[in-house]
Amino acid sequence: MSDFIQAKNVVKQFANHLALDRVSLNVPEGSIFGLLGPNGAGKTTLIRIINQITAPDEGEVLFRGRKIVANDVNEIGYLPEERGLYKKMKVGEQALYLVQLKGMSKTDALKRLKYWFEKFEIQSWWDKKIEELSKGMQQKVQFIITVLHEPKLLIFDEPFTGFDPINTNLVKNEIIRLRDNGATIIFSTHIMASVEELCDHIALINRGKTILSGNIDEVRNRFKPDSYEILFRGETENLKRALNSHIIVQEEPTRGDVKHLIIKKNQSESLRSMIATMNEAVDIVSFAEMIPGMNDIFIRAVEETNQNNQI
């Protein structure tokens, strides 16, 4: 899979702070790429540079392997975090205007708008003014406007805020469908559950630097603590004695007669022999490796770099 977007050593300096400090990342074609980072990390600046809203001070952005040019914006659909439409303008007219600005012809735009309005069952909104719609409804309109010209690259900044669970699902499925149809998607959010659910690749930016990037499974494996969770019936003491070469990390509260332990495996011992030992001592109800959630990874990675920076 080739990279659709590559950022190479991008630097952006604002009056009194360095927003991006040699940021590089590769967004593989046809993937959903999670762009993560704490508030003020520089995500929006990077997104604006990809959209050519601002230009980098140093470094470059490659679009399908060549330097990005002005006309490439027609191939990009961008849903910024701060949404906004003309309040006094009618929904249909506004949608038509904004997608024509992305280079679509009027007839194509009309045809495709009709399709999407039917799909989202909002045909009756066409002649309403934006200010007559609720915030969630406005978001829906803006989502359609973003994807309507079928761009090769979609950039969603917090696409789910303001949606109820039903609409969140609707939009989520649309994003997956767009990816399956070949679009590359850059997805910026603070909701780590949706990152785990949607993203194929991630990059974590903190203080203008990329601190973590790669395939999401690889990243999660990298942060694997080598810990296991066991649910069992029997004497806790028996199990502890049998596992004396391993570290008992934590004893969780008992649920009914099922007891609950978290164990860190001794690196020298194999998983099989550990399970065998445990099997002798107690009745195992369940046994699973603990894969860290993106939430934990996010917090750990960010805190680590913050500590390093303080030293």
Nearest-angstrom CA–CA distance, 233 and 227: 20
Is residue 87 at the binding interface for other proteins, with CB under 8 A as the rule? yes
Is residue 88 at the binding interface for other proteins, with CB under 8 A as the rule? yes
The piece of 29-37, 72-80, 181-189, 216-224 that touches other proteins (CB under 8 A) is 72-80
User: Which residues, 147 to 206, sit near other proteins by CB under 8 A?
Assistant: none
User: Which residues, 103 to 132, sit near other proteins by CB under 8 A?
Assistant: 103
- Determine which residue in the list 43, 48, 140, 209 makes contact with other proteins, applying CB under 8 A: 48
Q: 47 or 198: whose CB is closer to other proteins?
A: 47
The piece of 78-86, 174-182, 246-254, 255-263 that touches other proteins (CB under 8 A) is 78-86
Is residue 76 at the binding interface for other proteins, with CB under 8 A as the rule? yes
- Least distance in angstroms from the C-beta of 73 to other proteins: 6
- Determine which residue in the list 24, 26, 100, 167 makes contact with other proteins, applying CB under 8 A: 100
Interacting residue ranges for other proteins, rule: CB under 8 A:
15, 48, 51-55, 57, 70, 73-74, 76, 78, 80, 82-89, 97-98, 100-103, 142, 145
